[in-house]
Amino acid sequence: MNSFIQRSNAPDDHMMWQRFIAGEVAAFNDLMSSQFRSLFHYGSKFSRDREFVKDSIQDLFLLLWERRERLRDDVILKPYLMASLRRLMHRKSDLKARIEMEEFKGQEAPFELQFSVEQHYIEEESTLLLAENLKKLLNDLPPRQKEVVYLKYYQELDRSQIAEIMEVSPQTVSNLLQIALKHLKTHWRAEFLTFFLLHFLV
């Protein structure tokens, strides 16, 4: 029912990774097949260029394969691959700018993510309005807060994993998350009140 939520690593992830490190070509195939779609979804948050995202995932797997003898065998696959892909994509776009002799603009990395409301889950009009309001608040979050919320609630990663992926300290993760949730809750509550006030007045 909720295909975008993966609560825990599949039990055979660890086995697959061991076989990959051991140099089994079949494991390369299995690993890439099982991880490609979710990595593509994640990578799409950093670039709208789907071919660039696909290329980056391919580069990632080829790189891991090349260096497999030096890789740790006890990694938790999902956050490990996400962190590697994020780093690789940022490096690639940075390098691309340098090779093409464009001036590096040092801007904040984008994190583009749009939430939507699937109406068939909603029974009442008032709930729909609430959901739409929350959607808008989520869509308007600044990139880093959005990424934290995404990794925490939609990828179900823990604080240290998020810190590793975003290359910040665990404390920063907690702070970002707190700011984001506080913003979401207070503004949402305010919208609530206006909504009910309007409801009673009209």
- The least distance separating other proteins from the CB of residue 73, rounded to whole angstroms, comes to 19
Q: Which amino acid is at 171?
A: Q
C-beta separation of 131 from 117 below 8 A: yes
Q: What contacts 169, CB < 8 A, 6 or more positions away?
A: 163
Decide whether 13 or 59 has the Cβ nearer to other proteins: 59
Q: Interface with other proteins by CB under 8 A: which residues?
A: 1-2, 4-5, 7, 25, 28-29, 32-33, 36-37, 40-41, 44, 49-52, 54-55, 57-59, 61-62, 65-66, 91, 95, 98-101, 113-119, 121-124, 126-127, 130-131, 134-135, 138, 150, 153-154, 156, 181, 184-185, 188-189
Q: Which amino acid is at 102?
A: E
- The least distance separating other proteins from the CB of residue 142, rounded to whole angstroms, comes to 17
Decide whether 57 or 166 has the Cβ nearer to other proteins: 57
Cα(134)–Cα(168) distance, rounded to whole angstroms? 27
- The least distance separating other proteins from the CB of residue 110, rounded to whole angstroms, comes to 15
Decide whether 80 or 133 has the Cβ nearer to other proteins: 133
Decide whether 36 or 77 has the Cβ nearer to other proteins: 36
- The least distance separating other proteins from the CB of residue 85, rounded to whole angstroms, comes to 14
Decide whether 22 or 25 has the Cβ nearer to other proteins: 25
- Return the SS3 of 74: coil
Q: Quote the tokens at residue 183.
A: 């913003």
Please report the sign of the dihedral spanned by the C-alpha atoms of residue 120, residue 125, residue 128, residue 132. positive
Decide whether 7 or 72 has the Cβ nearer to other proteins: 7
According to DSSP, residue 141 is labeled S
The neighbour count for residue 145, using CB atoms within 10 Å, is 21
Using alpha carbons only, give the angle 99, 101, 105 rounded to the nearest 5 degrees.
105
C-beta separation of 184 from 134 below 8 A: yes
- The least distance separating other proteins from the CB of residue 92, rounded to whole angstroms, comes to 9
